């Protein structure tokens, strides 16, 4: 028996490869199918099942393409109604892979079709549970992402309480919990950096598994402090329900070198210019009106949060050799209308004599040394980050996720100093501000983490549990 967790840090997402005696099951695959097929081929094995724990909202799964290429059966739990051929499993239904078994445990709550998959070895011993978004390490799935549910968030949280108490917590303490996500995912509130754990340890440390917790207490704690999910979540969930364009076609269309004339023609036709180059390089010179989201940061989640039209034609700039990766990561969150990249990159633009924009930057030490109570400062971190601790003075909090609609609130007559936590989000924010006509802005390099090491005045640190959200 072989179990392999395939963790994608950019999405904080875990897929799983399970193999026994020449047969393979894949759980919650990413959009690209090649890695799973290659693993099975190398082991001289055949993919038999593709288990989906639920209709994912934060990424487009590769289940449809993988089934088409391998002949494997897609398996969902009860209540799922996909728009393609699938096997709708029953609660406690057993699936055989080689000489091991996987049992479907219907665990509604995160969504109504949500299910966990319990693995038993060749001796029938319960070894692992693949818990999807029902149970994370340190957290549980948020109950407000169900698509077209007639149930309230509180109703779903109640179902989740029952599922955990009746289906998961009675399992042996020594089984391994393999969740669908880790820290950084928006599918929960406070996930651990660890990507697996024993169930027994989770019973001791996970707030949602407290033995003495009542149903009412659980519902309150799980629903308290929920912020609106990223705008692309329901769009990705719909793609996972309805199906989507073939991944190979998306890659072929998007991974295409464009001449300068072709690039500019697409701009005139309304294509968005997405600059994915490294955050150290982008400020030095970029094409006017570009949106910066560097591939070196949390690329796909920020694309999904900030590009509101999932059908938007996208053309892009990339660091050399990263073009294919850009298209692949865009497709993971459903942005399938990528039309190509500028051949020759920013140098081709320069050589043509066309105008470039740049971003003024300042080191944290320079900013701290020149800072006064009246220095206009924009903090683009989340509200919870801001309220935990922030610079004291003429500071406003404009979280990156909604800075476009708040750009009119920014005084363009005086120089504005922009920072985030580490220097990545502030560059995205400045590119958006400039798209909206706010040009008198300076990026504070290194963000709040660097400012903490300077003499700049800071508010008293507030424990996250006491933050105002």
Q: What is the CATH number of the domain that holds 397?
A: 3.40.250.10
pLDDT of residue 254: 98
Candidates 100, 104, 99; CA nearest to 88 is 104
**Do the domain assignments include residue 269?**
yes
Residue 231 three-state SS: coil
Q: What pLDDT score does 353 carry? A: 95
Q: Does the pTM exceed 0.85?
A: yes
The pLDDT of 25-40, averaged and rounded, is 97
What's the chain's average pLDDT? 95
DSSP 295: T
One domain, residues 211 and 254: no
In a domain, 240, yes or no: no
Q: 197-220 pLDDT, tens per residue?
A: 999 999 999 999 999 999 999 999
Last residue of a domain, which of 325, 351, 377? 351
Q: What percent of the chain has pLDDT over 90?
A: 91
Q: Say yes or no: 270 and 316 in one domain.
A: yes
State the pLDDT at residue 464. Answer: 54
CB 122 within 8 A of CB 135: no
DSSP labels for 103-159? EEEE-TTSSTT-EEEEEE-TTS-EEEEEEETTB-SS-B--SS--TT-SS-HHHHHHH
410 neighbors 398 (Cβ within 8 angstroms): yes
Q: Which of 178, 207, 232 is where one domain is finished?
A: 232
Residue 318 lies in a domain: yes
Determine contact, residues 109/117, Cβ cutoff 8 Å: no
pLDDT class for 465, splitting at 50, 70, 90?
very low
The predicted-structure confidence for 409-453, as pLDDT tens digits, reads as follows 899 899 999 999 999 999 999 999 999 999 999 999 999 999 999
Q: Do 192 and 324 fall into the same domain? A: no
* Parent domain of 220: 2-232
Beta bridge pairs of residue 238? none
314 and 439 both lie in a single domain: no
At 148 the pLDDT is 64
Mean pLDDT over 39-55 rounds to 98
Residue 239 lies in a domain: no
- Give yes or no for a contact between 427 and 419, defined as CB atoms under 8 angstroms apart: no
- What are 251-273's pLDDT values in tens digits? 999 999 999 999 999 999 999 99
pLDDT at 461: 86
Residue 368 belongs to a domain: yes
**Alpha-carbon distance values, 181 to 204, 225, 395 (Å):** 20, 19, 34
Last residue in a domain, options 168, 200, 232: 232
**Do 158 and 175 fall into the same domain?**
yes
CB 433 within 8 A of CB 408: no
Q: Inform me whether the pLDDT recorded for 468 exceeds 60.
A: no
Dmax over Cα atoms in the chain, in whole Å? 73
Per-residue confidence band for 467, with pLDDT thresholds at 50, 70 and 90: very low
User: Tokens 């593709």 sit at which residue?
Assistant: 50
Strand segments, DSSP code E, in 169-302 are 176-179, 197-198, 257-258, 272-275, 291-292
Q: How far apart are CA 138 and CA 190, in angstroms?
A: 7
The pLDDT value recorded for residue 225 is 84
Q: What is the CATH number of the domain that holds 64?
A: 3.60.15.10
- The answer to whether residues 175 and 199 touch, using CB atoms and an 8 Å cutoff, is yes
Residue 180 lies in a domain: yes
| Tally of CA atoms within 13 A in the half-sphere of 304 that contains its CB | 27
466 pLDDT above the threshold of 50: no
- 385 vs 157: CA distance, rounded Å: 26
For the chain, what is the domain count? 3
390 close to 450: Cβ distance less than 8 angstroms: no
CA 434 to the chain's CA centroid: 26
Percent of the chain surpassing pLDDT 70:
98
Q: Within a domain: residue 9?
A: yes
**CA 232 to CA 251: how far, in whole Å?**
20
């Amino acid at each position: 028996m072989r179990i392999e967790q395939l963790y994608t840090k950019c999405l904080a997402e875990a897929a799983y490869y399970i193999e026994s005696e020449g047969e393979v099951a894949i759980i919650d695959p990413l959009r690209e199918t090649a890695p799973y097929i290659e693993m099975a081929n190398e082991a001289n094995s055949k993919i038999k099942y593709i288990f989906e724990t639920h209709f994912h909202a934060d990424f487009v799964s590769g289940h449809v393409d993988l089934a088409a290429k391998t002949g494997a059966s897609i398996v969902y739990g009860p209540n799922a109604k996909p728009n393609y051929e699938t096997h709708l499993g029953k609660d406690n239904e057993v699936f055989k892979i080689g000489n091991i078994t996987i049992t479907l445990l219907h665990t509604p709550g995160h969504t109504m079709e949500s299910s966990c998959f319990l693995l038993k070895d060749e001796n029938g011993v319960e070894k692992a549970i693949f818990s999807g978004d029902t149970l994370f390490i340190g957290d549980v799935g948020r109950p407000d992402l169900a698509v077209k549910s007639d149930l309230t968030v509180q109703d779903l949280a109640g179902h989740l309480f029952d599922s955990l108490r009746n289906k998961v917590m009675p399992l042996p303490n020594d089984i391994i919990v393999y969740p669908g996500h880790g820290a950084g995912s928006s599918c929960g509130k406070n996930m651990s950096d660890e990507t697996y754990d024993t169930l027994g340890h989770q019973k001791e440390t996970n707030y949602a598994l407290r033995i003495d917790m009542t149903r009412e207490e659980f519902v309150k704690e799980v629903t308290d402090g929920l912020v609106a999910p990223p705008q692309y979540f329901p769009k990705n969930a719909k793609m996972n329900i309805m199906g989507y364009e073939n991944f190979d076609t998306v890659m072929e269309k998007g991974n295409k070198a464009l001449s300068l004339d072709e690039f500019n023609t697409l701009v005139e036709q309304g294509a968005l210019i997405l600059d994915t180059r490294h955050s150290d390089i982008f400020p030095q010179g970029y094409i006017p009106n570009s949106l910066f989201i560097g591939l070196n940061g949390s690329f796909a989640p920020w694309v999904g949060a900030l590009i509101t039209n999932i059908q938007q034609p996208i053309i892009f700039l990339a660091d050399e050799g990263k073009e294919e990766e850009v298209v692949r990561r865009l497709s993971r969150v459903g942005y399938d209308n990528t039309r190509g990249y500028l051949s020759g990159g920013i140098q081709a633009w320069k050589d043509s004599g066309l105008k470039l924009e740049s971003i003024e930057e300042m080191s944290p030490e320079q900013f701290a040394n020149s800072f006064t109570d009246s220095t206009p400062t924009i903090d683009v971190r989340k509200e919870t980050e801001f309220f935990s601790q922030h610079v004291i003075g003429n500071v406003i909090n404009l979280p990156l996720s909604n800075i476009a609609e708040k750009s009119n609130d920014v005084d363009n007559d005086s120089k504005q100093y922009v920072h985030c936590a580490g220097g990545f989000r502030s560059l995205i924010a400045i590119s958006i501000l400039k798209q909206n006509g706010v040009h008198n802005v300076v990026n504070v390099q290194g963000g709040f983490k660097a400012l903490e090491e300077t003499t700049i005045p800071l508010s008293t640190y507030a424990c996250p549990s006491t933050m105002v959200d």
